[in-house]
C-alpha cells in the first residue's frame, strides 16, 4: 500500500466530499471488538523491517510469512523489499506501460530494461542478458532449447540438485518437442561421469543446489565442453550472486535465475522474474526481448528493441522462442532494488544472509538427532531428522514455526529423502527466530 501523507485540511476536504463527519465514522459498520483500541504497540525506534512484521502480525486468521519464525525457501525466499521500491513501481507511467514497440514513446521503459540487462550481465558474469523471462523455471527450459539450437543436438542432462519444478517444466516442454532429458537421481551430491557424451547438447546444474549445497563447476564446464555440450547454470536465490563466484567465471555458457529475491515479494507463486544471460557468440539464439542502446538522427542517446527478428511476432514458426513479452514491472522492481543496494550493498546483504544461515545451522546441528547434510552452503541448507520431515514440519507449525520444506514434498515417493528438511535463512531471520526454531525442533524430536 502506498503511503500518502495528508494534513488536517486534506482530511476535512475529503470527508466533506463524501459526506462524513469524521474518520471514525467511516468504521461504524465494523463490529465492536474488531477495531484496535488505540495505536498498535511497536518496538521503540523500530526499523522498517520490524514495523512490517508487527503490522503483518495483525492480519487476522492467516499466518503471513513475516509474522512467525519463517525458514522456507526452495526457490521462493522471504527478503526485505524497501518501501521505496513498491512506491516507485506504482507510479502510473510504470503500472500502465506495456510493450515498447514504439521507441519514440517508450524511452523510459526501454532505458530501465537496458539497465536491467546490464545489471544481470554483471551479476552472472556473462556478456549479454535479455529483458527478462516469465520466471526461473521457464528461463531454464528456454536455456535448454537454446542449447539444442546452438549444438544441433537433442539431449539434455539435468543435475539431481536441480529444483524438481524446474526439471518438470523442462521435461514437459521436451516431451512435446521430442527432445531427450536425462535427469540424475535427486541428492546433495552429483556424479556426471559417463552421463555426458557426444549426443549431449547441455548439462544443467543449479547453484546453490535445491538442497543448498554449493560447488565450483569449472571442472564440469570443461567436461561438458570436451563433449561439445554447453553448461547451463541455474540459480534460484539471486542474492547469492553477492557472495559466490559468478556462473560466467566458472565457464558457464548460459546463466538463468529466478530474480524474485531482489525487489519482489514472496507471494508464493508470482508474479516472478526470470533472468537469462549468455555469451556474445550465442546472442542470436537467445530467446526473448533484447534492448539496445543507439543514437537518434540528432546524435542523442536512445534505446530500441534490437534483434527483434528472433521474436515470435516477426519470425512466427521460425522464432527462437514463443516468449514474446517479459516481466516488465518485476524487472523494474529488481533494477530499483539493485540500484539502491549497489555492488557494496549486495555483497553486504549476501554476507548477512550467509552469517544468519551459519548461526542457524550450528544451532540446529546441536539438537539431539539432527544431522547437517550440506556443510557448504550460502543461505539454505539441508538437515536430516530421525522422524519423517513432513511430520516434523507439521509439528513445528503447531509450535508457531514454519521450519522449512520437507524434501518428501519436492520428491514424493523417495524414501531416502523422507527425513530431510531444507531450511533457509535470510537477512530477516532474527536471533529470536533462531532460538524459537531450535527450541521447537528439540521439543518436536524429544
The CATH number given to whatever domain includes residue 148 is 3.40.640.10
How far is residue 84's CA from residue 355's CA, in Å, rounded to a whole number? 26
* Per-residue model confidence as pLDDT tens digits over 47-85: 777 777 777 666 555 677 778 999 999 999 999 999 999
What pLDDT score does 7 carry? 85
Residue 310 has pLDDT above 70, yes or no: yes
Residue 218 has pLDDT above 80, yes or no: yes
User: If you average pLDDT over residues 26-47, what whole number do you get?
Assistant: 78
Residue 434 has pLDDT above 80, yes or no: yes
Q: Are residues 369 and 309 in the same domain?
A: no
End of a domain among 295, 317, 336? 336
Q: Is residue 56 part of a domain?
A: no
Q: Is residue 131 part of a domain?
A: yes
- What is the span of the domain harbouring residue 396? 65-80+342-445
End of a domain among 336, 351, 384? 336
Q: Are residues 375 and 332 in the same domain?
A: no
Q: Are residues 297 and 231 in the same domain?
A: yes
Q: Are residues 228 and 247 in the same domain?
A: yes
What pLDDT score does 57 carry? 65
End of a domain among 309, 336, 363? 336
User: If you average pLDDT over residues 157-164, what whole number do you get?
Assistant: 96
Q: Are residues 394 and 325 in the same domain?
A: no
Of 17-26, 234-243, 315-324, give the lowest mean pLDDT range.
315-324
Q: Is residue 170 part of a domain?
A: yes
Q: Is residue 422 part of a domain?
A: yes
What pLDDT score does 60 carry? 52
Please report, rounded to a whole number, the percentage of residues in the chain having pLDDT higher than 90: 73
Q: Are residues 156 and 288 in the same domain?
A: yes
Residue 254 has pLDDT above 70, yes or no: yes
What pLDDT score does 3 carry? 56
Mean residue pLDDT of the chain comes to 91
Backbone angles phi, psi at 421, to 5 degrees: -130, 130
> In the structure, what pLDDT confidence band is assigned to residue 309 with cuts at 50, 70 and 90?
confident
How far is residue 185's CA from residue 162's CA, in Å, rounded to a whole number? 10
Q: Are residues 71 and 180 in the same domain?
A: no
Q: How many domains, the chain?
A: 2
Q: Is residue 263 part of a domain?
A: yes
Q: Are residues 173 and 105 in the same domain?
A: yes
Q: Is residue 17 part of a domain?
A: no
How far is residue 189's CA from residue 186's CA, in Å, rounded to a whole number? 8
Q: How many CB atoms lie within 10 A of CB 27?
A: 10
b/e code 101-122 from CB counts within 10 Å (16+ = b): eebeebeebbbbbbbbbbbbbb
Q: Are residues 321 and 410 in the same domain?
A: no
Q: Is residue 54 part of a domain?
A: no
Q: Are residues 385 and 307 in the same domain?
A: no
What pLDDT score does 420 carry? 97
Q: Is residue 39 part of a domain?
A: no
Cβ–Cβ under 8 Å, residues 205 and 217: yes
Q: Are residues 242 and 271 in the same domain?
A: yes
User: If you average pLDDT over residues 307-333, what whole number do you get?
Assistant: 82
Q: Are residues 182 and 286 in the same domain?
A: yes
Collapsing DSSP to helix, strand or coil, 294 comes out as strand
**Domain at 420, CATH number:** 3.90.1150.10
What pLDDT score does 97 carry? 74
Residue 305 has pLDDT above 80, yes or no: yes
Residue 285 has pLDDT above 70, yes or no: yes
Residue 1 has pLDDT above 50, yes or no: no
Cβ–Cβ under 8 Å, residues 350 and 427: no
What pLDDT score does 58 carry? 66
* Per-residue model confidence as pLDDT tens digits over 359-406: 999 999 999 999 999 999 999 999 999 999 999 999 999 999 999 999
Amino acid at each position: 500500500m502506498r503511503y500518502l501523507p495528508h494534513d488536517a485540511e486534506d482530511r476535512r476536504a475529503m470527508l466533506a466530499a463524501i459526506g462524513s463527519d469524521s474518520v471514525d465514522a467511516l468504521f461504524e459498520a465494523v463490529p465492536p471488538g474488531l477495531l484496535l483500541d488505540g495505536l498498535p504497540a511497536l518496538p521503540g525506534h523500530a526499523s522498517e523491517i520490524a514495523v512490517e512484521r508487527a503490522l503483518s502480525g495483525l492480519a487476522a486468521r492467516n499466518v503471513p510469512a513475516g509474522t512467525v519464525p519463517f525458514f522456507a525457501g526452495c526457490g521462493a525466499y522471504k527478503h526485505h523489499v524497501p518501501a521505496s521500491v513498491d512506491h516507485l513501481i506504482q507510479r502510473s507511467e510504470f503500472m500502465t506501460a506495456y510493450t515498447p514497440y514504439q521507441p519514440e514513446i517508450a524511452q523510459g521503459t526501454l532505458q530501465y530494461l537496458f539497465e536491467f540487462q546490464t545489471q544481470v550481465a554483471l551479476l552472472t558474469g556473462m556478456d549479454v542478458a535479455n529483458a527478462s523471462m516469465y520466471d526461473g523455471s521457464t528461463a531454464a527450459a528456454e536455456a535448454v532449447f537454446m542449447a539444442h539450437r546452438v549444438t544441433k543436438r537433442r539431449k539434455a542432462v539435468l543435475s539431481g540438485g536441480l529444483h524438481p519444478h524446474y526439471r518438470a517444466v523442462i521435461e514437459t516442454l521436451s516431451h512435446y518437442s521430442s527432445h531427450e532429458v536425462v535427469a540424475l537421481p535427486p541428492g546433495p551430491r552429483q556424479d556426471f561421469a559417463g552421463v555426458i557424451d557426444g549426443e549431449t547438447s547441455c548439462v544443467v546444474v543449479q547453484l546453490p543446489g535445491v538442497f543448498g549445497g554449493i560447488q565450483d563447476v569449472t571442472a564440469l564446464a570443461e567436461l561438458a565442453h570436451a563433449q561439445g555440450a554447453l553448461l547451463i547454470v541455474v540459480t534460484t536465490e539471486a542474492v547469492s550472486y553477492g557472495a559466490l563466484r559468478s556462473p560466467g567465471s566458472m565457464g558457464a555458457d548460459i546463466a538463468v535465475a529466478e530474480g524474485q529475491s531482489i525487489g519482489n515479494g514472496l507471494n508464493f507463486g508470482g508474479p516472478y522474474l526470470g533472468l537469462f544471460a549468455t555469451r556474445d557468440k550465442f546472442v542470436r539464439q537467445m530467446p526473448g526481448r533484447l534492448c539496445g542502446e543507439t543514437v537518434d538522427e540528432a546524435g542523442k542517446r536512445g534505446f530500441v528493441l534490437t534483434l527483434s527478428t528472433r521474436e515470435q511476432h516477426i519470425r512466427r514458426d521460425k522464432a527462437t522462442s514463443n516468449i514474446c513479452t517479459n516481466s516488465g514491472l518485476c524487472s523494474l522492481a529488481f533494477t530499483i532494488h539493485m540500484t539502491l543496494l549497489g555492488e557494496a550493498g549486495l555483497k553486504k546483504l549476501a554476507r548477512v544472509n550467509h552469517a544468519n544461515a551459519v548461526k542457524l545451522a550450528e544451532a540446529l546441528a546441536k539438537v539431539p538427532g539432527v544431522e547437517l547434510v550440506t556443510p557448504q552452503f550460502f543461505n539454505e541448507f539441508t538437515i536430516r531428522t530421525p522422524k519423517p520431515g513432513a511430520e516434523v514440519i507439521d509439528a513445528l507449525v503447531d509450535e508457531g514455526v514454519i521450519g522449512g520444506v520437507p524434501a518428501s514434498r519436492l520428491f514424493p515417493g523417495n524414501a531416502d529423502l523422507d527425513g530431510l528438511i531444507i531450511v533457509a535463512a535470510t537477512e530477516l531471520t532474527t536471533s529470536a527466530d533462531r532460538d524459537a526454531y531450535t527450541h521447537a525442533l528439540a521439543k518436536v524430536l524429544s
